[in-house]
Amino acid sequence: MNTEFQSNQNESVYQRKQSLMSFYSHLLHYVSVISVLLLINLVTSPGYLWAFWPALGWGIGIMSHAFKVYRVPEKLFERHLEKEQKYHW
């Protein structure tokens, strides 16, 4: 049973590492592409900052990815709710 727990724990750590690596890769691509778009924007049409729109759209995707990766673990949230219910009831 201990090896099963350890195996599940190792798998969980591996999944967490993969999700973090995926998020940081996504963030790196975002910063790289938006920087290039901003440079192109400033060189070609400095009067109108059109690079804002792709940055905003992709930024929403980055935020949703961040919430997915850095969310509060469900068990911790459930424990907090149980404590709240104990004290308020």
Estimate the crossing angle of helix 2-44 against helix 52-70, to 10 degrees: 170
What confidence tens digit (pLDDT) does each residue in 20-54 have?
999 999 999 999 999 999 999 999 999 999 999 99
**Cα–Cα distance between 27 and 57 in angstroms, integer?**
13
What confidence tens digit (pLDDT) does each residue in 56-76 have?
999 999 999 998 888 866 666
Q: Which residues neighbour 54 within 8 Å (Cβ) at sequence distance 6 or greater?
A: 33, 34, 37
- Does 89 score more than 80 pLDDT? no
Could you tell me the residue ranges of all domains in the chain?
A: 2-88
If 0-12 CB within 10 Å is exposed, 13-18 middle and 19+ buried, where does residue 55 land?
buried
- Does 77 score more than 80 pLDDT? no
